[in-house]
């Protein structure tokens, strides 16, 4: 847990929402709607919300494209009046589903304040490689 995660977790005004969808590109709209709603309630500006949506789209798309068949995408959105953290998790078919050298990763880096991709070793019980993309965006003072 980095310091921004700890601050969000400790905040009494934090909002936390978890969503689970089928690993299907057509379902990303649900993730986007949830993250957008949480960000707006937390007081993020419309342009900041647009950046959050773009980053979430990139993260979810990357994981969905490599997700094992008939699996789920899990997304957690935690926000307070200062920052938002989005974590997207999936069970993937390859051991490194996130291309951290590609254009999509570069876009996510440029519009978020903290970005990380993690993956674990093959989990026989889950039938794939657990993977996650997490990003944090700090609310700008207007």
- Packing angle between helix 46-66 and helix 103-111, nearest 10 degrees? 150
Q: What is the pLDDT along the chain (142 residues), one digit of tens a residue?
A: 454 444 444 455 778 899 999 999 999 999 999 999 999 999 999 999 999 999 999 999 999 999 999 999 999 999 988 999 999 999 999 998 999 999 999 999 999 999 999 999 999 999 999 999 999 999 887 5
Task: Scan for tokens 């419309």, then name that residue.
Answer: 46
CA 44/CA 29 separation, integer angstroms = 19
pLDDT value at residue 140 = 82
pLDDT at res. 12: 53
User: Which pLDDT value is given to residue 80?
Assistant: 87
Give this prediction's pTM.
0.88
């Amino acid at each position: 847990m980095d310091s921004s995660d700890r601050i969000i977790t400790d905040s009494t005004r934090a909002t936390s929402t978890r969503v689970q969808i089928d690993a299907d590109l057509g379902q990303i709209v649900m993730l986007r709607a949830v993250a957008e709603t949480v960000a707006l309630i937390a007081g993020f500006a419309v342009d900041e919300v647009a950046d959050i949506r773009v980053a979430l789209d990139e993260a979810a798309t990357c994981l969905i494209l490599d997700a094992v068949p008939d699996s789920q995408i899990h997304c957690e959105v935690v926000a307070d009046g200062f920052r938002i953290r989005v974590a997207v998790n999936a069970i993937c078919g390859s051991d490194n589903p996130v291309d951290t050298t590609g254009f999509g990763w570069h876009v996510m880096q440029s519009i978020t304040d903290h970005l990380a991709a993690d993956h674990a070793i093959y989990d026989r019980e889950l039938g794939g490689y657990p993977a996650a993309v997490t990003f944090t965006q700090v609310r700008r003072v207007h």
